[in-house]
């Protein structure tokens, strides 16, 4: 899988997650991909939310890995 295809699949995964975050007043964006580590940024109500780390691991990381299994981890950039 080439870099462009990986980035496209990460964006597809974020598009799947985004409606749930938007409903709660938040959003998410891809910052970068470095050595199979995805860097994301939360926006809006997601910033400082008490469950955003659980959302990051159980929602965001799991969904991205569904599209791109070789991803090692997803990290929030503040």
Domains of the chain, by residue range, sit at 3-76
- For 50-71, write each residue's pLDDT tens digit: 777 777 788 899 999 999 999 9
- For 2-47, write each residue's pLDDT tens digit: 999 999 999 999 999 999 889 989 999 999 999 999 999 999 888 8
Task: Tell me how far apart the alpha carbons of residues 34 and 39 are, in angstroms, rounded to a whole number.
Answer: 8
The arrangement of secondary structure in 3-76, i.e. its CATH architecture, is 2-Layer Sandwich (3.30)
CA-CA-CA-CA dihedral for 11, 12, 16, 18, to nearest 10: 20
By C-alpha distance, which of 67, 74, 70 is closest to 8? Answer: 67
Q: Residue 25 has what pLDDT?
A: 92
Range 13-16 contact pairs with CB under 8 angstroms and sequence separation of 24 or more: 13/60, 13/63, 13/64, 13/66, 13/67, 13/68, 14/40, 14/60, 14/64, 16/63
């Amino acid at each position: 899988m080439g870099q462009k295809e990986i980035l496209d699949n990460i964006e597809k995964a974020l598009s799947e997650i985004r409606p749930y975050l938007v409903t709660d007043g938040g959003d998410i964006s891809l910052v970068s991909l470095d050595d199979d580590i995805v860097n994301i940024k939360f926006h809006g109500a997601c910033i400082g939310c008490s469950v955003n780390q659980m959302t990051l691991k159980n929602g965001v990381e799991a969904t991205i890995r569904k599209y791109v299994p070789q991803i090692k981890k997803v990290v929030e950039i503040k």
